[in-house]
């Protein structure tokens, strides 16, 4: 599901009363009533149980579990605490510094959706909300976000709330529905832009921060790691996001975080938070972000040309390829995409790719299956030279080709 929130009427009343906050899962929406109260009761109950376990009498306590009461022993214990705390505080300082640096670049976005009619024939105003982050390109400023945050909303129906409290509107609205990339051109004095990092350099286990406005709570920061890379084939509600290559993170992402930045510990944007996997509608430790390198391939084209040109390789793929066929061909692992057709005059033919080849790497990235190849090539900028590795007759062969505009081949 996409982590946006839908609010009827005043957003603060809706959150406080728990009656109008709506979450969605696979296109089904329902109100999250009294969720704060239930969470509070669970927390208090769990705390009471924990305390009762701590104070319950024990038949025989080990010496290390006995209360420290002497003045000297407590002084030594506090000294140990201070030594250990210094290490943690030094690490925490990095996180706090990143939050201070990136925070002023993060915005809250509200978009008016077309009025909807209720069962009693009354209409109500529905509002989408999400997050975004400011970047600078060629001396101009833009907000990077998700298309689904403002989809089908004209520029005059979009409100951008800056970190310093100002509210502005976009000068231009740019989007690409096949990748869920959204870009809003803005113009205002004293704007602060975030630096764009390199998502290709991120590895599983790297620390990240997610910033945004979950449930409309601006200036929120959560912390986690990169849990996985290259996630694709996700069912994203009723949206048709064709090209997917997500980073997975356990940094808490909730409704309203859509479009906000995922940052590394250098304070650089390495992803745009886009979706969550959830049965409850809230964070369950599985969030997905569009890697910033792929995002910027699309965003640069939208900014510079107003449209996106897709790359074309020129192969058709064998959907039957799997572990049995891979073993028959002598592949050590059932990865890659088997070619069963090559388009005449396409880059694949020029590079020497043949029917029966198994494409195992493109531009240094291991190809998992045919869907992964389609997604990966779709995020490459047309005109760029890329390396390709194919498995043929028991050998790995390295090739190089230049991908072209798919529209030239009627795609």
Active site residues: 148, 180, 258
Distance CA 254, CA 224 (A): 14
Q: Alpha-carbon dihedral of residues 167, 173, 176, 182, nearest 10 degrees?
A: -20
> Residue 330: which of 356, 368, 367 has the closest Cα?
356
Q: How many degrees, rounded to 5, is the angle at CA 350 between CA 345 and CA 356?
A: 95
| Angstrom distance (rounded) from CA 258 to CA 132 | 8
- Quote the longest CA-to-CA distance of the chain: 86
d(CA 139, CA 7): 36
Q: Do 184 and 156 touch, CB atoms closer than 8 A?
A: no
Is the CB of residue 377 less than 8 Å from the CB of residue 403?
A: yes
């Amino acid at each position: 599901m996409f982590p946006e929130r839908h609010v009827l009427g005043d957003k603060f009343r809706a959150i406080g009363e728990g009656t109008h906050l709506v979450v969605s899962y696979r296109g089904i929406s329902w109100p999250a009533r009294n969720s704060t109260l239930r969470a509070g009761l669970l927390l208090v109950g769990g705390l009471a149980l924990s305390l009762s376990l701590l104070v319950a009498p024990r038949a025989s306590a080990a010496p290390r579990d006995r209360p420290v009461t002497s003045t000297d022993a407590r002084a030594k214990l506090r000294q140990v605490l201070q030594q250990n705390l210094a290490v943690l505080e030094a690490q925490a300082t990095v996180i706090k510094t990143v939050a201070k640096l990136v925070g002023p670049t993060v915005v809250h976005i509200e978009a008016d959706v077309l009025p909807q009619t209720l069962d009693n024939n009354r209409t109500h105003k529905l509002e989408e909300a999400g997050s975004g982050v400011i970047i600078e390109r060629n001396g101009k400023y833009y907000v990077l976000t998700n298309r689904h945050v403002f989809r089908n909303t004209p520029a005059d129906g979009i409100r951008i709330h800056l970190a310093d409290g100002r509210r502005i509107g976009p000068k231009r609205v740019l989007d690409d529905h096949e990748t869920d990339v959204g870009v809003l051109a803005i113009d205002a004095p004293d704007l602060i832009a975030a630096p764009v990092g390199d998502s290709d350099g991120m590895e599983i286990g790297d620390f990240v921060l997610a910033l945004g406005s979950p449930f409309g709570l601006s200036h929120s920061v959560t912390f986690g790691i990169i849990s996985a890379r290259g996630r694709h084939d996700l069912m994203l509600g009723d949206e048709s996001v064709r090209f997917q290559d997500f980073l997975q993170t356990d940094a808490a992402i909730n409704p309203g975080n859509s479009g906000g930045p995922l940052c590394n510990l250098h304070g650089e944007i390495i992803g745009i938070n886009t979706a969550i996997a959830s049965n409850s509608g809230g964070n369950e430790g599985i969030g997905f972000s569009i890697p910033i390198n792929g995002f910027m391939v699309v965003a640069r084209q939208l900014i510079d040309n107003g449209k996106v040109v897709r790359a074309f390789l020129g192969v058709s793929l064998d959907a039957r390829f799997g572990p049995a066929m891979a073993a028959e061909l002598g592949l050590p692992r059932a990865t890659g995409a088997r070619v069963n057709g090559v388009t005449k005059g396409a880059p694949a033919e020029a590079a020497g790719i043949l029917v029966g080849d198994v494409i195992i790497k493109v531009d240094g990235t291991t190809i998992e299956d045919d869907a992964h190849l389609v997604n990966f090539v779709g995020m490459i900028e047309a005109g760029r030279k890329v390396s390709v590795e194919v498995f043929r007759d028991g050998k790995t062969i390295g090739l190089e080709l230049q991908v072209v505009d798919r529209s030239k081949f009627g795609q």
